[in-house]
């Protein structure tokens, strides 16, 4: 709606102009003022898009009124309606960027024409502003996407040097020499429920936004989005900066605790040339594992020898957690991957690392086979796996094992109550339909209260949580395929409200469907 303020000392003018404009323009909201002083008061509260004002009024005249308006608002469109055609008035009108100067008596046709032209101009300017804002938003989205790609390339040890000129241009940072920093947040207890986990993830995201603002303001740097309980920072090298001081990073940890209630530790790799920055990243990870200090500089640490005994214990924990469908499995998987990176840094243990990956995959295949999970291990070519570079081996392992766990964790358990199994079968088949606990209970001839109790006891999830997880997993597959829009995917999997689908997806995955699709691409 467009807001119009009419200022005139003649009540008949105020009434007649208001009546005519209301009849011709439904999109206009009109306020009136009997003099300039009242007009100034209404401008402050009404915030008009247009002002139509007389010049000669008792007390403050129209030109003084316009002068005061222009001191605080350069955008409002002003139209002068006056019986005086002196050159001085017209000259002042130009000075104050007045849209039009209309002489009384004001005809109905002329008034409608001038207001129509001014409305068109407002629409064009509004459209222009929206386009400019869209361009700005797309620019910052592009920067965020390129920044994420930069960190993904480092973490996966990809050859990003071929894109270095592109990174420098978009990210506006020299990327000549720097160090990688890891901020690691204390994990939640393994018994944490979904609500606590979502709250924890939201705090890490808020902390990430804070770091992006505060660090970039002080020194050329890049800050990654959260990777589970870690945030990574690339810090451009600058001589004499206090950002290499332990005290500065202690203040960051303290701010994180005070603002977000998160306990954190920070590991800093050595400063490296940009083509060796992956080494700095590995050091930042390893120094946190080796040191018990809150702020751990790799330069200050003598890294302990790798413990095969501890690694073998971690491998067994990974297999056990897979077998028992533990919710913490994916966190243990991430820990296994980081430890595997450390193991692969030692040439004499490289063969052992590869063998461990293959053996662990085979053990997981066996678990799935016993559970009658339809996933053919022969589709995973070991020879192809062995030909991959180190980081790609781990990435390949992660993708295969996560896919299997998603299938296995939702498979039927022989210890489940028959009602639970029936309910799960219906949900897995009809998750895309509009399905309620009451409707589900009616289909298997029990009360909703009893089904809710049994289902929760068997699966550890409520009916709603289980249904949402099924839908979100299907949404992730469709987002990866990229054949449907986010709105279409939401409708397909059972969410009639796109906004609710987006909120639910972010609750379970920590990011929006759009961001997830970008990351998978």
At 453, list the tokens. Answer: 């109790």
Residue 55 Cα distances to 13, 98, 103, 151, 153, angstroms: 13, 12, 11, 63, 66
Please count the helices (runs of H) and the strands (runs of E) in the chain. 21, 11
Supply the DSSP symbol for 107: P
> Position of tokens 């690392």?
353
Supply the DSSP symbol for 102: E
Supply the DSSP symbol for 186: P
Residue 402 Cα distances to 2, 347, 389, 407, angstroms: 54, 27, 20, 9
Rg of the chain on CA atoms, in Å:
33
Task: Provide the greatest CA pair distance for the chain.
Answer: 98
Q: What is the pLDDT of residue 377?
A: 45
Q: Kindly compute the dihedral angle of the four CA atoms of residues 344, 287, 215, 249, in this order, to the nearest 10 degrees.
A: 180
Supply the DSSP symbol for 137: H
Residue 285 Cα distances to 257, 289, 342, 419, 509, angstroms: 21, 7, 9, 47, 24
> Which residues face 7 on adjacent strands?
33, 53
Check if the beta carbon of residue 267 is closer than 8 Å to that of residue 287.
yes
Task: Name the strands in the sheet holding 28-33, side by side, starting at the edge strand that comes first in the sequence.
Answer: 28-33, 2-7, 50-53, 77-82, 100-103
- The pLDDT-based confidence of 432 (bands split at 50, 70, 90) is confident
Sign of CA dihedral 438, 444, 445, 447: negative
For residue 230, give the H/E element and its range. strand 230-236
Please name each of the domains of the chain with its CATH number. Answer: 2-127 (3.40.50.2300), 173-301 (3.30.70.270), 305-410 (no CATH), 418-520 (1.10.10.60)
Check if the beta carbon of residue 204 is closer than 8 Å to that of residue 229.
yes
Residue 324, number of CB atoms within 10 A of its CB: 9
CA distance 197 to 192: 6
SS3 sequence of 87-153: HHHHHHHHHCCCCEEEECCCCHHHHHHHHHHHHHHHHHHHHHHHHHHHHHHHHHHHHHHHHHHHHHH
Q: Kindly compute the dihedral angle of the four CA atoms of residues 6, 11, 15, 21, in this order, to the nearest 10 degrees.
A: -30
Residues 6+ apart with CB under 8 A from 439: none
Q: What is the pLDDT of residue 414?
A: 52
Q: What is the pLDDT of residue 327?
A: 75
At 171, list the tokens. Answer: 């990210």
Give the residue-averaged pLDDT of 442-467. 86
Q: What is the pLDDT of residue 266?
A: 93
Give the residue-averaged pLDDT of 474-483. 86
Q: What is the pLDDT of residue 348?
A: 76
At 245, list the tokens. Answer: 């001081």
pLDDT in tens, 268-325: 988 999 988 988 888 888 788 767 789 988 877 654 556 778 888 889 999 988 888 8
- The pLDDT-based confidence of 492 (bands split at 50, 70, 90) is very high
- The pLDDT-based confidence of 32 (bands split at 50, 70, 90) is very high
pTM above 0.75, yes or no: no
pLDDT in tens, 340-376: 876 766 777 778 888 888 888 888 887 877 665 644 4
Sign of CA dihedral 501, 196, 198, 311: negative
Mind giving me the DSSP string for 411-472?
S--TTS-HHHHHHHHHHHHHTTS---HHHHHHHTTS-HHHHHHHHHHHHSS-HHHHHHHHHH
């Amino acid at each position: 709606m467009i807001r119009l303020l009419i200022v005139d000392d003649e009540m008949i003018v105020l009434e007649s102009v208001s009546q005519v404009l209301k009849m011709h323009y439904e999109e206009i909201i009109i306020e009136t003022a009997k003099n300039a002083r009242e007009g100034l008061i209404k401008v402050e509260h009404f915030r008009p898009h247009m002002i139509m004002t007389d010049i000669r009024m008792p007390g403050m005249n129209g030109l003084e009124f316009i002068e005061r308006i222009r001191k605080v608002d350069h955008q409002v469109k002003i139209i002068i309606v006056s019986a005086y055609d002196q050159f001085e008035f017209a000259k002042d009108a130009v000075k104050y960027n007045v849209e039009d100067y209309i002489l009384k008596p004001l005809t109905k046709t002329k008034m409608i024409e001038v207001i129509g032209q001014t409305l068109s101009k407002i629409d064009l300017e509004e459209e222009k502003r929206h386009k400019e804002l869209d361009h700005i938003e797309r620019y910052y989205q592009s920067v965020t996407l390129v920044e994420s790609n930069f960190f993904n390339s480092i973490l996966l040890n990809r050859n990003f040097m071929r894109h270095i000129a592109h990174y420098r241009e978009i990210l506006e940072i020299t990327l000549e020499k720097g160090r990688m920093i890891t901020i690691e947040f204390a994990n939640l207890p393994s018994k944490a429920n979904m609500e606590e986990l979502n709250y924890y993830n939201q705090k890490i995201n808020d902390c990430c936004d804070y770091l992006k603002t505060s660090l970039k303001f002080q020194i050329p740097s890049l800050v990654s989005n959260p990777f589970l309980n870690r945030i990574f920072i690339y810090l451009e090298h600058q001589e004499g900066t206090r950002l290499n001081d332990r005290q500065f990073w202690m203040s960051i940890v303290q701010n994180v605790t005070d603002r977000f209630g998160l306990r954190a530790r920070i590991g800093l790799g050595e400063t490296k040339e940009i083509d060796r920055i992956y080494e700095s990243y590995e050091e930042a990870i390893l120094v946190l594992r080796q040191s018990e200090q809150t702020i751990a500089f790799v330069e200050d640490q003598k890294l302990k020898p790798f413990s095969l005994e501890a690694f073998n214990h971690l491998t067994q924990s990974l297999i056990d957690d897979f077998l028992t469908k533990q919710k913490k499995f994916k966190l243990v998987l991430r820990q296994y991957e980081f430890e595997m990176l450390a193991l692969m840094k030692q040439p004499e243990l490289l063969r052992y690392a590869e063998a461990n990956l293959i053996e662990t995959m085979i053990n997981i295949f066996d678990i799935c086979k016993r559970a009658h999970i339809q996933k053919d291990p022969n589709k995973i070519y070991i020879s192809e796996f062995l030909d991959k570079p180190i980081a790609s081996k781990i990435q390949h392992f992660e993708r295969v094992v996560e896919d299997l766990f998603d299938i296995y964790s939702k498979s039927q358990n022989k210890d489940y109550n028959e009602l639970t199994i029936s309910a799960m079968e219906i949900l897995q088949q009809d998750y895309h339909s509009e399905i309620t606990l009451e409707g589900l209970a009616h289909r298997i001839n029990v009360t909703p209260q009893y089904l809710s109790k049994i289902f929760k006891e068997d699966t550890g999830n409520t009916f709603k949580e289980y249904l949402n997880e099924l839908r979100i997993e299907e949404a992730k597959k469709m987002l990866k395929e990229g054949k449907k829009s986010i709105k279409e995917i939401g409708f397909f999997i059972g969410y009639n409200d796109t906004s609710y689908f987006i909120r639910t997806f972010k609750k379970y995955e920590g990011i929006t469907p759009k961001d997830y699709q970008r990351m998978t691409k």
